[in-house]
A and B are shown apart, each in its own frame.
Chain A
Amino acid sequence: MSFFLETLVGGLLAGVMYSLVALGFVLIYKASRVFNFAQGSLLLFAALAFVTLTEHGVNLWLAGLITLALLILIALAIERAVLRPLTGRSDLTLFMATLGLSYVIEGVAQTVMGSDVHALDLGIPDVPMQVGPIQISVFDLTAAAISGVLVLALSLLFSRTRLGVSLRAVADDPLAAQSIGIKLDTVWSVVWAVAGFVGLVAGLLWGSRQGVQFSLSLVVLKALPVLIIGGFTSITGAIVGGLIVGASESLAELYLGPLIGGGLSAWFAYVLALAFLLVRPSGLFGERAIERV
Chain B
Amino acid sequence: MPSSDGIDTLALVSSRGFVAPVTWRPNWLVLALLAVTFGLVPLVADDYWLNAVLIPFLVLSLAGLGLNLLTGFAGQASLGAGALMSVGAFASYNFLLRAPLLPLPVSLALGGATAAGLGLVFGLPSLRIKGFYLLASTLGAQFFVEWAFTKYEWFSNHASSGSISAPRLALFGCDLSSPLGRYLLTATIVALLTWVAANLVRSQTGRTWTAIRDMDTAAAVIGIPVVGAKLSAFVVSSFILGIAGALWAFTYLGTADAHSFDIDRSFQILFIIIIGGLGSLAGSYIGAAFILVLPIFLDRFALALFGGMIGTGLLENLQKIIFGSLIIFLLAREPRGLAAYLARLSRWLLPRRA
Contacts and interface: CB of A to CB of B under 8 A. Distances in A.
Interface in B193-237: 215, 217-218, 221
Interface in A83-114: 85-86, 88-93, 95-97, 99-108, 110-111
B133 A228 contact: yes
A111 B132 contact: no
Interface in B286-336: 313-314, 317-321, 323-328, 331-333, 335
For chain A, give the interface size range.
35 or more
A189 B144 CA distance: 37
Contact of A293 (B217, B325, B335): B217
A197 B144 CA distance: 33
Nearest to B76: A92
B274 interface: yes
A207 interface: no
A25 B267 CA distance: 20
A91 B131 contact: yes
Interface stretch (A135-143, A152-160, A267-275): A267-275
Nearest to B127: A278
B152 interface: yes
A221 B331 contact: no
A104 B1 contact: no
Nearest to B129: A277
B320 A106 contact: yes
Given A293-B215, A293-B221, A270 B139 contact: yes
Contact of A86 (B129, B135, B215, B331): B331
B132 A101 contact: no
A95 B77 contact: yes
Interface residues of B, number: 52
A278 B327 CA distance: 33
A281 interface: yes
Nearest to A89: B8
A105 to B, nearest CB: 8
A168 to B, nearest CB: 16
B140 to A, nearest CB: 3
B143 A270 contact: yes
Contact of A95 (B132, B139, B324): B132
B136 A88 contact: no
Interface string A257-273: 00001011011001101
Interface in B271-288: 274
B8 A96 contact: no
Contacts of B4: 88-90
A176 B324 CA distance: 33
Contact of A261 (B1, B135, B152, B270): B152
Given A103-B321, A224-B135, A278-B125, A97 B331 contact: yes
Contacts of B143: 266-267, 270
Contacts of A82: 328, 332
B136 A274 contact: yes
Contact of B147 (A105, A266, A281): A266
Given A110-B317, A281-B129, A91 B1 contact: yes
A85 B317 CA distance: 25
A261 B218 CA distance: 45
A107 B2 contact: no
A35 interface: yes
Given A85-B332, A91-B1, A291-B217, A107 B125 contact: no
B218 A97 contact: no
B270 A99 contact: yes
Contacts of B221: 293
A30 interface: no
B144 to A, nearest CB: 4
Contacts of B314: 111
A51 B130 CA distance: 39
Residue in B2, B144, B152, B324 with the greatest tally of chain A CB atoms within 10 Å: B324
B321 A104 contact: yes
B132 A35 contact: yes
A284 to B, nearest CB: 14
A22 B7 CA distance: 30
Contacts of B151: 261, 263
Please list the 3 inter-chain residue pairs (A to B) with the smallest Cβ-Cβ separation, ordered nearest first: A270-B140, A100-B327, A103-B324
Interface of A: 33, 35, 81-82, 85-86, 88-93, 95-97, 99-108, 110-111, 115, 221, 224-225, 228, 261, 263-264, 266-267, 270-271, 273-274, 277-278, 281, 291-293
Given A100-B325, A107-B319, A270-B140, 13 more contacts: A92-B75, A93-B335, A103-B323, A104-B328, A105-B324, A106-B317, A111-B321, A115-B313, A228-B136, A267-B143, A274-B136, A293-B2, A293-B221
26 contacts: A33-B1, A81-B328, A88-B8, A90-B1, A90-B4, A90-B5, A91-B131, A92-B132, A97-B331, A100-B324, A100-B325, A100-B328, A107-B319, A107-B321, A107-B324, A228-B136, A261-B152, A264-B147, A267-B143, A270-B136, A270-B137, A270-B140, A271-B140, A271-B144, A277-B129, A281-B133
